[in-house]
């Protein structure tokens, strides 16, 4: 019986290694990170440019390894984080705090992005709103969010989010 339990544990370990996805680079088309790809390791910066949407589905874990100062940079594009009450989307930063947030919005129409049932675990910053250089498009409007939890991390806003993690405003 004990042997069977051990075999079971070993099999789970192998499955999760095989399920690992490394993600980096600029997304050229709308992209869905589904549970089949989870856990997703951010092994380089991810860019989400104009007219591109990144959707992250319920149950997906997004890991920021401790050996990279990487972020998901939503620069003109949009991000839909679609967790559910039973299965949140988990953003986990391993290791130390660094200069990038897990997710940064820059020059984006924030009302096209939303967070539903998301969990962020630091110490790396969770969400940054960053200003563009003068003359370039700035972030506009407000991100919709519901049931977002921040554990040892925070929102860092250059714009109008309040820093207590409450950025839910309905339009
Ligand atoms: C994913 O990245 C890790 C660390 O950078 C590397 O060791 C591993 O081989 C990569 N896996 C794949 C499938 O590219
Ligand atoms: C918060 O994160 C720590 C690890 O950094 C973990 O041990 C703890 O369980 C987390 N708390 C919650 C409420 O998830
Ligand atoms: C969050 O902000 C909304 C609108 O600004 C407000 O109605 C609500 O009470 C706030 N919630 C908390 C927990 O501060």
Tell me the Cα Rg of the chain. Answer: 17
Distance 140 CA to ligand 2 centre (A): 33
Domain boundaries, the chain: 22-157
Q: How far is the CA of 97 from the centre of ligand 1 (A)?
A: 22
Q: How far apart are CA 109 and CA 43, in angstroms?
A: 26
pLDDT tens digit string along 46-95? 999 999 999 999 999 999 998 889 999 999 999 999 999 999 999 999 97
Return phi, psi of residue 87, to 5°: -150, 95
- What is the C-alpha separation between 75 and 51, in angstroms, rounded? 10
C-alpha 168 – ligand 3 centre gap (Å)? 7
95 lines ligand 2 (CB under 6 A): no
Structural contact between residues 35 and 12, judged by C-beta atoms closer than 8 angstroms = no
Cα of 151 vs centre of ligand 2, distance in Å, is 6
Question: 5: pLDDT confidence band, cut at 50, 70 and 90?
Answer: very low
Name the residue at shortest CA distance from atom 10 of ligand 1. Answer: 22
pLDDT range class, residue 145, cuts 50, 70, 90: very high
Confidence at 19, pLDDT banded by 50, 70, 90: confident
pLDDT digits (tens, 9 = 90+) for 87-109: 999 999 997 778 899 999 999 99
Ligand 3 atom 4: the closest Cα is on which residue? Answer: 169
- Answer whether 32's CB lies under 8 Å from 59's CB: no
Three-state DSSP string of the chain: CHHHHHHHHHHHHHHHHHCCEEEEEECCCCEEECHHHCCEEEEEEEEECCCCEEEEECCCEEEECCCCCCCEEEECCEEEEECCCCCCEEEEECCCCCCCCCEEEECCEHHHCEEEEEEEECCCCCEEEECCCCCCCCCECCCEEEEEEEECCCEEECCCCCCCCCCCCCC
């Amino acid at each position: 019986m004990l042997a069977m339990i051990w075999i079971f544990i070993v099999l789970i370990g192998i499955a999760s290694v095989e399920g690992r996805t490394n993600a980096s680079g600029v997304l050229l088309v709308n992209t869905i990170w589904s549970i089949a790809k989870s856990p997703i390791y951010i092994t380089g910066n991810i860019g989400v440019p104009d007219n591109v949407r990144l959707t992250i589905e319920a149950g997906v874990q997004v890991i920021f390894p401790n050996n990279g100062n990487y972020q998901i940079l939503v620069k003109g594009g949009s991000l839909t984080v679609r967790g559910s009450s039973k299965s949140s989307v988990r953003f986990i930063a391993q290791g130390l705090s660094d200069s990038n947030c897990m997710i940064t919005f820059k020059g984006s129409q924030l009302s096209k992005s939303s967070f539903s049932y998301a969990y962020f675990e630091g110490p790396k910053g969770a969400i940054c709103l960053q200003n563009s250089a003068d003359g370039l498009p700035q972030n506009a409007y407000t991100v919709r969010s519901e049931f977002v939890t921040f554990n040892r991390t925070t929102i860092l806003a250059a714009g109008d989010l309040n820093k207590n993690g409450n950025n839910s405003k309905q339009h």
